[in-house]
Chain A
Amino acid sequence: MSWRPTALNVSFLTLAGWALFLGVLTGRADLVVVAVPLVVALVVGRRAAAPPALRIDQEASADRVFEAERVTVSLRLRADAPVPLVELLQPLPPRVRLERGCNHVFLALRAGEEVRWEFTLRCEGRQRLRLGGPHVRQWGPLGLTAAETRHRAPQAVAVYPHLAPLRHPPRPVRTQTFVGNHVSPAQGEGIEPGDIRPFAPGDHVRHVNWRATLRLGTLHVTQHHRERNADVVLLLDTLSEVGPPGATVVDVAVRGAAALAAAYLARKDRVGLIEYGGQLRWVRPGSGRAQLQRLLDTLLDASVVFTYVTRDVDLIPPRILPPQALVVALSPLLDPRFVRAATDLAARGFDLVVIAVSPVGPARAAVPRGAVADVAARLWALERRVQLDEFRRRGLTVVDWDGAGPLDVALAALRRRRRHRVLA
């Protein structure tokens, strides 16, 4: 770091030159004397010694947050020699808003003094937030010289998509063998009462249905349904996106996928993820908090990678897409490749639910307001309604979600339709 002259020198030189010139021109000594303080300032303003070294420690209050949560960034400055004026500027990454404090500060430090600077950021959208460290600029006297550097303190904060609570995610039609929260049609140990049958040796006495026994005259027992878990695979369409940065259909779909993952994992289901886009990425189905972390980390990096290549669902191994799994596809249904893949999955007998994220709202937010844009948006919405009806006629289960309202509300209609369809 070294001192460099600033543009203010030009102003001082201009005025000093004017004073000297007018002094010579008019033959007035007063004007020459006027130039003297300016010249002295120029001379004194030059710093001969090297700028004093600053020690800066930066830390963030968290390295993992969810959307709309806050991160407090703290910086501690310490100088061994006096620093008359130091300017610090922490550039704000996109989709980050300053909540409290200021990311631009001027400080003066005495020798050995430690100053603490703190500001709070509000993270608006999912991202890997990188705080590279502040720009540091030390100013010489009168601002005639400055020394600049960038304090490198790479620090990453993962901003995960918001986890909206989901009370009623789509119920899987088929269950698996492990214990979970879904009532299986299979009989066995459980708490949900099922059929009544005559007593057989080996039955527990506590399963005897005394009311039926008295009515029928012989011992009868109540059978129970097993509580089982299910395999759920979230299929995220990243082939296309519309909307302003941070509020694209992919962002909306990612929020939906995160909410669904959290809801299913809370019900002891195994949840997997397939990012169906320019690059095919997946997370093997699993359960527990670690799996939620894996899913959120994968969703954090979900983005559109342009490609002409059509990815066939045959490429996905069965361990990633188990045959009995409930597949929940989140897509704006803009790319015919994804529509073909979803239709293919449904034709193969997968229990498929398509959550159609409406691209109309995000696209509307990305263009200026106007009568033509309003008409176009309404026409698009009508076309989209026709498209979804066509998918329903083909046998796909489609839920329309505008992305602005809660996903739970959009899924309510589906819950009524699928209530009695559990198979095995």
Chain B
Amino acid sequence: MLRAAALGLVAALVAFPLAVLPSPPVTWVAGAALALAGAGVLGRLVPLVTAGASLALIAHALALVIARPAVDAVAAAAFGATLVLLLALVHFAARVRGAEVGPSVVAAQVRRWLAVVAAGVVAAGVLAAGGAVLGPALGGATLPVVVVAAGLGALIAAAGLVALVTRRPG
């Protein structure tokens, strides 16, 4: 059941770029992503699923670059949420392989995942709204200032993320 759900998420992941632009180059990359992530799901291999998801992301970027549609924050947040759910699901399926799973475990896990995903979607919405508000204000700023500020912010965010992930809680 877990693998079927993960395969469904892989299909949804691949459908995002194809929905934007069902052209041959996007289809090829999306097909490769489907094969790789599908194999990862069937073999319960998280690295393979990560590789497939990365390809799906590349296909999505390719489709956005070629088609140049308007920014769709909802679709983007849904794409990110699908990635989160897929990784969590495959990782869980790999862990419980050959083990006895208690009656309420799967339901509890799904609830926790959905809570985290909901928080992520809300954060994405806040970010998109903030961007929409700040965009016109930054319109007059010179490009080097924007680039330096963005670069600094990205650097601090990355450093904070790494520190957060690698820190050993007391």
- Could you list which residues of chain A lie within 8 angstroms of chain B, going by C-beta atoms? 2-5, 7-16, 18-20, 22-23, 25-26, 28-48, 50, 84-85, 87, 89, 101-102, 104-108, 115, 139, 141-143
Contacts and interface: CB of A to CB of B under 8 A. Distances in A.
Interface stretch (B3-11, B24-32, B110-118): B110-118
**At the interface, is chain B mostly helix, strand, loop or mixed?**
helix
B124 interface: yes
Interface in B121-170: 121, 123-124, 127-128, 131, 154, 157, 161, 164-170
Contacts, number: 182
A37 B123 contact: yes
Contact of A142 (B49, B96, B102, B112): B112
Nearest to A28: B64
B77 A33 contact: yes
Contacts of B108: 84-85, 108
A8 B91 CA distance: 7
Interface in B10-46: 46
A326 B116 CA distance: 77
A11 B53 CA distance: 10
A204 to B, nearest CB: 73
A30 B95 CA distance: 32
A350 B84 CA distance: 80
B54 A7 contact: no
**At the interface, is chain A mostly helix, strand, loop or mixed?**
helix
Given A106-B102, A108-B105, A142-B112, A15 B53 contact: yes
A22 B58 contact: yes
B88 A143 contact: yes
A46 B167 CA distance: 9
A15 B87 contact: yes
Given A3-B169, A13-B165, A19-B80, 18 more contacts: A7-B46, A11-B87, A18-B54, A18-B57, A19-B57, A28-B71, A33-B80, A37-B117, A42-B161, A45-B116, A46-B164, A84-B112, A87-B95, A106-B105, A108-B108, A142-B84, A142-B88, A143-B88
B71 A30 contact: yes
A95 B99 CA distance: 21
A46 B81 CA distance: 18
Contacts of B47: 11
Contacts of B99: 87, 89, 102, 104-106
Contacts of B109: 84-85
A152 B112 CA distance: 31
Residue of A12, A36, A38, A102 with most chain B CB atoms under a 10 A cut-off: A36
Interface of B: 46-47, 49-50, 53-54, 57-58, 60-61, 64-65, 71-73, 75-77, 79-81, 83-84, 87-88, 91-92, 95-96, 98-102, 104-105, 108-109, 112-113, 115-117, 119-121, 123-124, 127-128, 131, 154, 157, 161, 164-170
B68 to A, nearest CB: 9
Nearest to A25: B61
A253 to B, nearest CB: 37
A12 B47 CA distance: 11
17 contacts: A11-B91, A12-B87, A16-B161, A18-B57, A29-B71, A31-B76, A33-B73, A34-B77, A34-B80, A46-B165, A46-B167, A85-B109, A104-B100, A106-B102, A115-B102, A141-B112, A143-B91
Contact of A31 (B54, B64, B164, B166): B64
Nearest to B99: A104
A101 B83 CA distance: 35
A30 B76 contact: yes
A8 B46 contact: yes
Nearest to A19: B57
Contacts of B127: 32-33, 36
Residue of B46, B80, B101, B167 with most chain A CB atoms under a 10 A cut-off: B80
A104 B97 CA distance: 9
A31 B56 CA distance: 12
Given A18-B54, A40-B116, A34 B88 contact: no
Contacts of B87: 8, 11-12, 15, 142
A107 B108 CA distance: 10
B116 A44 contact: yes
B64 A30 contact: yes
A20 B61 CA distance: 11
Residue of A3, A41, A89, A107 with most chain B CB atoms under a 10 A cut-off: A41
A141 B119 CA distance: 13
